[in-house]
Amino acid sequence: MKTIIQKMGTEHAQTIQYFLKTENGNIGLNDAIGKEIHLQFTGQIFCRECQKKINKTFGEGFCFNCFSTAGAASPCIIRPELCQAHLGLGRDPEFEQRNHNQPHLVYLALTQQIKVGITRKTQMPTRWIDQGANAAIILAETPNRYLAGLIEVALKDHFTDKTNWQQMLRNVPPTEDSDLSTEKWELEELLPQDLTQYWTDDDEIWHFNYPVLQYPEKIQALSFDKTPEISGILTGIRGQYLYFDQTKVLNLRKHTGYETIWQL
């Protein structure tokens, strides 16, 4: 089966369900865990935005031109406090209105440590699953990305906004006991007064169980640029990573736009 790699689809269930997105529909990947699979990179890469054939990607699957001009690669993707969608502005105002001038959530997610982040409301809980979080709680809900970004900035001094992907893939336990609900209410006092109105009373803690047979003590990252053919037993999936033979991991999202042949 030949397909151009996209971010895997997910479904929140007792065990997270993963799907390979193809031009002919979604294919479940959980049933392949414990079995040998083979992936081959054809050498062809296509921009996720304009679909042109390219030699390398920028960001997550863009050609250089689209990375510089497309709304989906706007600087406010990384730094939401720069978003101007609420003003009717932005790199691509139509894209901004559809995606950024929409309700957003500010959250805490727990892996090896607690991180603060934001996501469009319609991306919950997908965003947490893509990060490989063990648990998450909603802090605030805002009407647009800009306000969510201001809250995130106000909390960055107390929590990281990055996920340590290696520790996540090894399932390193938290450095200390963390009660997300307690952390939430302690954080409210740190917000500027004009932002407290967006804090929610939602105390639900979301938990995530990933289909991984056994977590490794060490990992080795794979790349199609160095290894065009990858074979092995699929021993797990977490975040947007596939585990091969327990210790090798492939970040599918990093290879967005790569044309590959899959044998499941």
Domain map (residue ranges) of the chain = 2-67+212-263, 74-207
Q: Does the pLDDT value for residue 195 go beyond 90?
A: yes
User: How far apart are the C-alpha atoms of 145 and 104, rounded to whole Å?
Assistant: 6
User: How far apart are the C-alpha atoms of 28 and 194, rounded to whole Å?
Assistant: 45
What is the CB neighbour count within 10 angstroms for residue 176? 7
Please compute the mean of the pLDDT values over residues 113-118 and round it to a whole number.
92
Residue 96 pLDDT: 95
Q: What is the band of 164 on the pLDDT scale with cuts at 50, 70, 90? A: confident
Residue 177 pLDDT: 62
Q: Which of 81-95, 184-198, 222-236 has the lowest mean pLDDT?
A: 184-198
Residue 84 pLDDT: 96
Mean pLDDT of the chain: 94
Question: Is 0.85 topped by the overall pTM?
Answer: yes
Strand locations in 125-257, DSSP E?
Answer: 135-142, 205-207, 220-222, 229-238, 241-244, 248-251
Please compute the mean of the pLDDT values over residues 211-222 and round it to a whole number.
96
Residue 162 pLDDT: 78
Per-residue pLDDT reduced to its tens digit, 97-114? 999 999 999 999 998 889
Q: Does the pLDDT value for residue 256 go beyond 70?
A: yes
Q: What is the band of 189 on the pLDDT scale with cuts at 50, 70, 90? A: confident
